[in-house]
Amino acid sequence: MDHAVSDTSRIPGWGVDADPDNDPTYPMKARTDGEHAGYAWERPPRQPVAVEVLHSNERPSLSAVFGTSTPPAGLSGLIRRFAFRYSESSYGHWLPLMLADRVGEVEGVLQDLAGGRVPNVPAERGWKAEWEHNRERLVGRVLVGAVLASAAVGLLAGLRGRTSARGRDARA
């Protein structure tokens, strides 16, 4: 590697910040620290904790503001509790959280059905907007879903047929 000194005078803009009279940080250097007097404020009361709130194991306490509308519950809550044992920098944290989101979606549909409501899946999934703005992708996703659902039904029907045939053979 060549460590020879090069002529920097030909490089446009080189050394533009070398002039102390043209220092853009000058006003910040001449502070009197009088503005710090405004930092002496009384901390507001902390938000009360009425439900279980999961927080990073990298923080000693809860943040000043947190959501309480959907506390962890069911299988998705169990997965979330597991995920928060791990650092936010690991896959052990984020992958289970993504799985918990998918499980929570299924739990929500099951809760709707148990409550006597049929969920409006197209509206909840935003299919109207996708039909208007990205029709090809929506059609492709619906077709793939239909093929996978048909395959699952066919597989389950085949398994059911085999088990019932075994039962008949055992009785004969």
User: 98, 119, 140 — which closes off a domain?
Assistant: 119
Distance CA 76, CA 167 (A): 37
Query: For the stretch 35-64, what's the b/e string if a residue is b when 16 or more beta carbons lie within 10 angstroms of its beta carbon?
Result: eeeeeeeeeeeeeeeeeeeeeeeeeeeeee
Tokens 């650092």, located at residue: 87
Among candidates 53, 94, 93, which has minimal Cα distance to 72? 53
Quote the domain boundaries for residue 168.
122-172
Same domain membership, residue 129 and residue 115: no
Cβ neighbours for 83, distance < 8 A, ≥ 6 positions apart: 92, 93, 94, 95, 96, 97, 100
What is the model's pTM? 0.55
Distance CA 68, CA 48 (A): 10
For every one of its 172 residues, what pLDDT tens digit does the chain have, with 9 covering 90 and above?
Answer: 566 667 777 777 777 666 666 666 655 655 566 666 666 777 778 888 889 988 888 887 888 888 888 889 999 999 999 999 999 888 999 999 999 999 998 999 899 999 999 988 888 888 899 999 999 999 999 999 999 999 999 998 887 776 665 555 555 5
Same domain membership, residue 115 and residue 76: yes
